[in-house]
Chains A and B, each alone.
Chain A
Amino acid sequence: MNEQFKRRIAAGALIVAFFVTWEALCILLGVSDLVLPRPSQVFTTLFTRINVLWPHIVQTLMTTMVGFACGVSVGVIIGSVIGVSRTAYDTAYPLLIGFSSIPKVAVVPIFVLWFGSGTVPAILTAIVICFFPIVVNIATGLATTEPEQEDTLKALGASKFDILWNVGLPRTMPFFFAALKVAITYAFVGTVLSETVASNRGIGNVMMSASSNFDVPLVFAGLFILAGMGVTLYAIFSAIEGRVIGWATRKNEIAT
C-alpha cells in the first residue's frame, strides 16, 4: 500500500513538474502566446469559457462513446468468428489488414459525401478506427487457447459454443481489456478527426475555428479537454479490468 502510494505521488509530481517547467520556459524565453500559451493561460481560458465549451464537450463525448460501443461490438463479433475458425481467419485476414492500413483521414470525406457533415460521420470514423485492435486481440486470445484446456471439455462432449463460452472468451478477457484501452483513445482520435473536417459541433470543431481565429489558448484548452476525457475513460476501463481479470494480474497481489 505504501509502495503504491509512493508511485502515485511520483506520477503526480511528474505531471506538476511538466506544467511548471512549461510555464517557466515560456516566461524565461518570452514565448508569445500565439505560438505556445502558458499552462496558466490555458487553464484560465478553460474555466472562463466553460459555458461555451460544455455543449461541445458533451457532443464529442457522446459521439465517441456511441462510436466506441459500436466499434467494440463489431470488433468482438468479427474477432470471435475469425478466432474460432481457422478458415474464417485465413479468408478474412487479408481483407481486414488491407482495411486497417487505410489512413482513416482518407475515409472521412467519403462518409461526409454519404451522410453529410455532423454527428453521423464522426461516429462512423470512430467505429472504423477503433474496431481493429479489438478484432486482433480477441482473435489472438481465442486462437492461442491452450489445447489441453479445450480437450478437457471436448472429452466431456462439450459443443463449440460451450468451449467458447467457458474457456475461449474468459481467457480472452485480458486481451480484450488491453484492446479496450487502446480502442477508447482511438475512438477519440476518430471523432475529433471527423469533427475537425466536417462538423459545426464538438471539440474538434472548436479547436479548428479557434486556430483560424488565432485563439491559441482556446486550441490548447481543447487539447487539455481531450486529454482529460481520454485519461478519465482509460482510468474507468482500468478499474473495471482490475475487477474482472484480477486472476491475470495476480502477481501484484500477495498470495494467501
Chain B
Amino acid sequence: MSDRAKLTFFQVMAFVVGVALLVLTVHMVLRYGFQNHALDWWAMPHGFLYMVYLVAVALLGFALRWEIGPMVLVMLAGCVPFLSFWVEHRVTRTARAQIEARESAATGVPA
C-alpha cells in the first residue's frame, strides 16, 4: 500500500466515521431524549467502523512517521461530532505536502 493509498484510505474512513458519528448522535438524542429506540442497532456497526478508522489512522501515521500525540489526537477526533471533518481536511493537507516532499526528494526534482 503506497502512502497515497494510505492517505485515501484515511480520507474515506474519516468521512465514513464522521457521518457514522452524526447518526450515532441522532441515536443518542432519540434514545435518551425521546425514549425512541429506533436507531439502537447503529451503535454496534459504528463501533466497528471506528475500529477501521483507527487502523487507517495508524497506517497513515506510521507511514508518515507522526509523533504519538498528534496520532492519538487524530484518532480521538473521530469521537467528536463534526470535528473529524475538519481534522480530515487538515491532516490531508499536511500529509499530502509530506508525501510530495518525499517524492521529490526521491526523484531528485525540487518541490
On whether the two chains bind one another, the answer is: no
